Amino acid sequence: MLDYKLLEALVAVIDQGGFERGARHLGLTQSAVSQRIKLLEARLGQPVLVRSPRLAPTLLGQRLLNHAQQVRLLESDLLDQVPALGSGERRLRLAINADSLATWWPEAIGRFSERYRVLFELVVVDQEVALKRMRDGDVAGCICDSPRPVQGARSHALGSMRYRALASPAFMARHFPDGVTPGALRQAPAIVFGPDDRLQHRYLAMHGVEPPFPHHLCPSSEGFVGLALAGLGYGMVPERQAERELHEGRLQEIDPGPHLADGSLVDLAPGYVIDVPLYWHHWRQGGEVLDALTDHLLRIVDAWLMPLPAT
Amino acid sequence: MLDYKLLEALVAVIDQGGFERGARHLGLTQSAVSQRIKLLEARLGQPVLVRSPRLAPTLLGQRLLNHAQQVRLLESDLLDQVPALGSGERRLRLAINADSLATWWPEAIGRFSERYRVLFELVVVDQEVALKRMRDGDVAGCICDSPRPVQGARSHALGSMRYRALASPAFMARHFPDGVTPGALRQAPAIVFGPDDRLQHRYLAMHGVEPPFPHHLCPSSEGFVGLALAGLGYGMVPERQAERELHEGRLQEIDPGPHLADGSLVDLAPGYVIDVPLYWHHWRQGGEVLDALTDHLLRIVDAWLMPLPAT
Q: Which amino acid is at A135?
A: R
Residue of A nearest to B88 (CA): A214
* Residues in chain B within 8 Å Cβ distance of A223: 96, 98, 101-102, 105-106, 122, 124
A2 pLDDT above the threshold of 80 = no
- Quickly state the pLDDT bin for A237 (edges 50, 70, 90): very high
CA distance A62 to B28: 35
Residue A124: which of A148, A155, A103, A154 has the closest Cα? A103
* Residues in chain B within 8 Å Cβ distance of A16: 195
The predicted structure's pLDDT at residue A78: 60
- Highest mean pLDDT: which range of A88-97, B4-13, B176-185: B176-185
Handedness of CA B100, B101, B102, B108 (dihedral sign): positive
Are A98 and B123 an interchain contact pair (Cβ–Cβ within 8 Å)? no
Contact (Cβ atoms closer than 8 angstroms) between residue B239 and residue B257: yes
CA distance B303 to B153: 25
**Would you give the end-to-end CA distance of chain B in angstroms?**
46
Please report the DSSP string for B154-212 in residue order. Answer: EEEEEEEEEEEEEE-HHHHHHH-TT-S-HHHHHHSPEEE-STT--HHHHHHHHTT-PSP
Q: Looking at the complex, report in whole angstroms how far the Cα of residue B194 sits from the nearest Cα belonging to chain A.
A: 9
Q: Which of A275-279, B277-281, B305-309 has the lowest mean pLDDT?
A: B305-309
- Across the A:B interface, residue pairs with CB atoms under 8 Å apart total 145
Are A220 and B25 an interchain contact pair (Cβ–Cβ within 8 Å)? no
Are B218 and A122 an interchain contact pair (Cβ–Cβ within 8 Å)? yes
- Of the residues A62, A120, A304, the best mutation for testing chain B's interface (the one with the most B CB atoms within 10 Å of its CB) is A120
| pLDDT greater at residue B155 or residue B66 | B155
CATH class, range B161-275? alpha beta
Contacts of B289 (CB under 8 A, 6+ apart): B73, B76, B77, B90, B92, B116, B118
Q: Where are the domains of chain B?
A: 161-275
User: How many Cα neighbours within 13 Å face the side chain of B215?
Assistant: 23
What's the average model confidence in pLDDT over B240-266?
58
pLDDT in tens, A57-97: 988 888 888 777 777 776 666 656 655 444 456 778 899 98
The helix (run of H) or strand (run of E) holding residue A295 is helix A288-300
pLDDT in tens, B48-98: 898 888 888 988 888 888 777 777 776 666 656 655 444 456 778 899 988
Q: Which of A30-34, B219-223, B241-245 has the lowest mean pLDDT?
A: B241-245
Percent of chain B with pLDDT over 70: 88
Paired strand residues for B119: B91
B200 pLDDT above the threshold of 90 = yes
The predicted structure's pLDDT at residue A244: 36
List alpha helices for chain B, DSSP H: 4-16, 19-26, 30-44, 59-81, 98-102, 105-115, 127-136, 169-175, 182-187, 199-206, 221-229, 258-261, 288-300
User: How many Cα neighbours within 13 Å face the side chain of B281?
Assistant: 30
Using CB atoms, which residue from B101, B215, B227 is nearest to A220? B101
* Residues in chain B within 8 Å Cβ distance of A94: none
The helix (run of H) or strand (run of E) holding residue A38 is helix A30-44
Q: Looking at the complex, report in whole angstroms how far the Cα of residue B69 sits from the nearest Cα belonging to chain A.
A: 16
Are B232 and A98 an interchain contact pair (Cβ–Cβ within 8 Å)? no
Are A223 and B101 an interchain contact pair (Cβ–Cβ within 8 Å)? yes
The predicted structure's pLDDT at residue A259: 82
Residue of B nearest to A26 (CA): B212
| pLDDT greater at residue B8 or residue B250 | B8
Q: Which amino acid is at A146?
A: S
Q: Report, at the CATH architecture level, how domain A161-277 is classified.
A: 3-Layer(aba) Sandwich (3.40)
B248 pLDDT above the threshold of 50 = no
Are B122 and A215 an interchain contact pair (Cβ–Cβ within 8 Å)? no
Q: Looking at the complex, report in whole angstroms how far the Cα of residue B223 sits from the nearest Cα belonging to chain A.
A: 5
Contact (Cβ atoms closer than 8 angstroms) between residue B206 and residue B272: yes
Report residue A157: phi and psi, to 5°. -70, 130
- Highest mean pLDDT: which range of A86-90, B35-39, B170-174, B256-260: B170-174
The predicted structure's pLDDT at residue A166: 95
The predicted structure's pLDDT at residue A254: 47
Are A232 and B15 an interchain contact pair (Cβ–Cβ within 8 Å)? no
Using CB atoms, which residue from A111, A216, A226 is nearest to B107? A226
Are A196 and B17 an interchain contact pair (Cβ–Cβ within 8 Å)? yes
Secondary-structure breakdown of chain A: helix, strand, coil percentages, each rounded to the nearest 5: 45, 20, 35
- Quickly state the pLDDT bin for A203 (edges 50, 70, 90): very high
Q: Looking at the complex, report in whole angstroms how far the Cα of residue A311 sits from the nearest Cα belonging to chain B.
A: 31
- Quickly state the pLDDT bin for B249 (edges 50, 70, 90): very low
- Quickly state the pLDDT bin for A250 (edges 50, 70, 90): very low
Are B232 and A124 an interchain contact pair (Cβ–Cβ within 8 Å)? no
Q: Looking at the complex, report in whole angstroms how far the Cα of residue B147 sits from the nearest Cα belonging to chain A.
A: 24
Q: Which amino acid is at B142?
A: C
What's the average model confidence in pLDDT over B193-215?
90
Residue of B nearest to A22 (CA): B195
- Quickly state the pLDDT bin for B240 (edges 50, 70, 90): confident
- Highest mean pLDDT: which range of A12-26, A232-246, A273-287, B155-169: B155-169
Using CB atoms, which residue from A59, A114, A229 is nearest to B106? A229
| pLDDT greater at residue A210 or residue B127 | A210
Q: Looking at the complex, report in whole angstroms how far the Cα of residue B310 sits from the nearest Cα belonging to chain A.
A: 30
Q: Looking at the complex, report in whole angstroms how far the Cα of residue B193 sits from the nearest Cα belonging to chain A.
A: 9
Please report the DSSP string for A158-198 in residue order. Answer: EEEEEEEEEE-HHHHHHH-TT-S-HHHHHHSPEEE-STT--
